Amino acid sequence: MRKNPSPGYIALLSALITTVIPVVILLIFQLDIWQTALIAIATFAGAFFISYYLLQIFIYRKIKLIFKVISRFKSQDDRIQELISKGDEDPLSAVSKEVYSWMLDNKRELDQLKEQANFRREFLGNVSHELKTPIFSIQGYIHTLLDGALEDKAVNRKFLKKASRSTDRLVELVQELTSISELQSGKFELDIKKFDIYELVREVYELLEDLADEKQIKLEFKKHSNKAVFVKGDRKKISQVITNLVVNAIKYGAREGVVLTGFYEMDKNLLIEISDDGEGIAAEHLPRLFERFYRVDRHRSREEGGSGLGLAIVKHIIEAHQQTINVRSTIGKGTTFGFTLPRA
């Protein structure tokens, strides 16, 4: 028996089997040999053409039609048509495999759509909450001033300063949302140049020195990392990445602790790691740290300030450079963020 029989082969076997029975009966009754031969030929021909028609015209063509429908959804029309035309696999087995594959693909797509729908709902809820807080604060201060506090010199300037801080927070949030939108859409262009990553980190350290002094945190380099190291990338965007990671390390690092930056050569890339010695992050939170608005401790994060978008922006910038970013953390010992850049 052939592995992948054609419709003609199957019809031939069916016709032979169908012809054997009447021929045997006719021979038993000892009918004229010519009559027996004519009946056998007629039976064989009729059985062959009926079988061939049912298989080729009615069944196989409909199976091919199913293939074509599936191929439109799977965008694999050429491969499927080639499989059918060559006859490398019988259509019943092939269509079973393709239907099963198509079913799995559709299930994955459906799961992704559900995940995206949940993400959109969560994102809209987070955006509404983040916008609501500064807007309501501004509204409250302005209404209080209009209701008479404007003439009270003891409080009017105080309320205006609070309204101004809430406005700054609102502007920061909108700017970061705009940045994420631009990064995701790919509408911005990276200005890739060679630069010294060590010098860039030093500049960031100097800018954040006052913030670190508030918690008596030292900003230092790891051993063998306090020297010039050249990489390729968008210096301005990478400065934004390092600033965000160092600010996070200061905010969540231990008081009187240290923030360390290290450089490690990895073939054609350079690994840049920024570590703190704070409380650390539980393992279940690590996969979601780079999601927009995701916070490990929402109450503490809001007290420390920030919009909850910083790490999401960092991830998009690094991915725009076609590089990777990761995080590891140990409870009670601290957290380390690491990302790669091409070595120059």
Contacts of 339 (CB under 8 A, 6+ apart): 241, 271, 272, 314, 318, 323, 324, 325, 326
Please tell me which residue, 123 or 236, carries the higher pLDDT value: 236
Question: Do 125 and 241 belong together in one domain?
Answer: no
d(CA 336, CA 318): 16
Structural domain contains residue 107: no
Please tell me which residue, 181 or 336, carries the higher pLDDT value: 336
Which of 9-13, 150-154, 231-235, 270-274 bottoms out in mean pLDDT, i.e. has the lowest? 9-13
d(CA 177, CA 76): 38
pTM: 0.58
**The CATH number of the domain where 306 resides is what?**
3.30.565.10
Question: Do 220 and 252 belong together in one domain?
Answer: yes
Question: Do 330 and 244 belong together in one domain?
Answer: yes
Which of 24-38, 110-124, 214-228 bottoms out in mean pLDDT, i.e. has the lowest? 24-38
Question: Do 52 and 70 belong together in one domain?
Answer: yes
Query: What confidence tens digit (pLDDT) does each residue in 246-278 have?
Result: 999 999 999 999 999 999 999 899 999 999 999
Q: Which of 185, 210, 230 is the last residue of a domain?
A: 185
**The CATH number of the domain where 139 resides is what?**
1.10.287.130
For residues 237 and 190, the answer to whether their CB atoms sit within 8 Å is yes
d(CA 301, CA 121): 21
Q: Closest Cα partner for 306 from 135, 188, 133, 140? A: 133
Structural domain contains residue 98: no
Please tell me which residue, 17 or 153, carries the higher pLDDT value: 153
The parent domain of residue 19 ranges over 7-89
The pLDDT mean for the chain works out to 78
Please tell me which residue, 25 or 80, carries the higher pLDDT value: 25
158 has pLDDT over 90: no
47-51, 150-154, 323-327 — which one is most confidently predicted on average? 323-327
